[in-house]
């Protein structure tokens, strides 16, 4: 929307870059949208909002100090992985004063990893997206075993053999909306209906198609797990939805020409993301790591690579 672009342009450059970095979590290069996202995180929890703020500032400053592309920094591309790193570590690790240093170091590393992956993937015209966040957080979550100052939080499951699924069943119709909203909010680890709604509002400011793709991903993450017999509690919390949300936005709005065909491809990608997430969850359970957004990254990469071989979809543009 024009009014949001005017506000974006009028903001001081440091604020504009920081807010754009938060907005880029949902592919939105817009400071107004990023501000709404960050406000939503603070509404969901002060610790999560503060951790996201520290993360986006640390990763962005690291990119500037290391001399990475100013255009990419201005677009917020070195901020969104740090935005995710902060809430992730605060969710899965016990809170301690040292944890803030941990967040800063992990956010800085996410920018280094992003720059490296951008260089590797550039010839293939495929984006690194949230893969630096995933790789960085996996490393830091495993590293806590070597440090006495850090311990795993209760939400992070201990290593073990995958067990048979229990609590299977269809969700009552009256809580579908709650599950859909939480599915969007869980992209940034927010178990909140209000946060999910605010995220959708922020996306819609930039693009209605983008918001529709996000809603479509949340619907896929609700219906497909129910059809396959996934755990009802996990579905209700939106844990099967946040990856399809990102996948459908990436394939159906951002990296391919926005057409009916790309929307259909996005739907297929979203469905397969649910399957990929289930498989990766079973694969990672023995080492006690969460899937994070890796199912989205893996499926998006495969579909964008495949799109380049098809006569129906234009090649993606790396971002």
pLDDT in tens, 257-285: 999 999 999 999 999 999 999 999 999 99
162 pLDDT higher than 80? no
pLDDT at 152: 83
| Ramachandran category for residue 292: left, alpha or beta (phi over 0 → left; psi -120 to 50 → alpha) | left
* Residue of 178, 208, 193 whose CA lies nearest to 40: 193
Total residue count of the chain as it appears in this document = 319
1's CB contacts (< 8 A; 6+ apart) are 205, 206
* Structural domains of the chain, with CATH: 1-155 (1.10.3430.10), 162-319 (1.10.3430.10)
**How confident is the model over 231-240, as a mean pLDDT?**
92
227's CB contacts (< 8 A; 6+ apart) are none
Q: How far is 267 from 216, CA to CA, in rounded Å?
A: 8
Q: What is the mean pLDDT of the chain?
A: 93
Q: How far is 69 from 35, CA to CA, in rounded Å?
A: 23
Cα 302 to chain centroid distance, Å, stands at 17
pLDDT at 144: 86
pLDDT in tens, 218-228: 999 999 999 99
pLDDT band at 314 (very low <50, low <70, confident <90, very high): low
Q: How far is 108 from 65, CA to CA, in rounded Å?
A: 10
* Residue of 149, 140, 122 whose CA lies nearest to 292: 140
pLDDT at 313: 72
**How confident is the model over 151-158, as a mean pLDDT?**
81
Neighbours of 209 (CB within 10 A): 17
CA angle 121, 84, 92 (to 5 degrees): 120
E strands present in 195-254: none
């Amino acid at each position: 929307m024009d009014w949001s672009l005017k506000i974006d342009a009028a903001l001081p450059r440091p604020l504009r870059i920081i807010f754009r970095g938060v907005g880029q979590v949902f592919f939105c290069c817009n400071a107004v949208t990023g501000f709404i996202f960050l406000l939503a995180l603070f509404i969901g929890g002060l610790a999560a909002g503060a951790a996201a703020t520290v993360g986006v500032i640390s990763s962005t400053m690291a990119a500037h100090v290391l001399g990475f592309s100013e255009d990419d920094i201005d677009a917020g591309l070195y901020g969104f992985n740090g935005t995710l790193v902060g809430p992730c570590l605060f969710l899965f690790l016990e809170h301690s004063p040292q944890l803030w240093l941990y967040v800063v170091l992990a956010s800085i590393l996410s920018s280094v990893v992003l720059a490296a992956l951008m260089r590797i993937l550039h010839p293939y015209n495929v984006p690194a997206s949230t893969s630096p966040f995933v790789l960085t957080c996996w490393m830091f979550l495993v590293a806590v075993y070597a440090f006495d100052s850090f311990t795993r939080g209760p939400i992070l499951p201990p290593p073990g053999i995958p067990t048979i699924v229990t609590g299977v069943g269809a969700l009552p119709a009256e809580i579908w909306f709650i599950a859909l909203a939480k599915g969007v909010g869980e992209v940034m680890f927010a178990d909140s209906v209000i946060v999910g709604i605010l995220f959708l509002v922020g996306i819609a400011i930039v693009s209605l198609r983008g918001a529709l793709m996000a809603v479509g991903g949340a619907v896929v993450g609700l219906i497909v797990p129910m059809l396959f017999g996934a755990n009802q509690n996990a579905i209700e919390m939106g844990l099967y939805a946040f990856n399809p949300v990102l996948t459908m936005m990436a394939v159906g709005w951002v990296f391919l020409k926005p057409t009916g065909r790309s929307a259909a491809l996005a739907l297929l990608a979203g469905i397969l993301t649910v399957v990929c997430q289930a498989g990766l969850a079973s694969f990672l359970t023995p080492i006690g790591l969460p899937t994070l957004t890796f199912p989205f990254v893996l499926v998006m990469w495969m579909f964008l690579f495949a799109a380049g071989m098809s006569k129906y979809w234009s090649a993606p543009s790396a971002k």
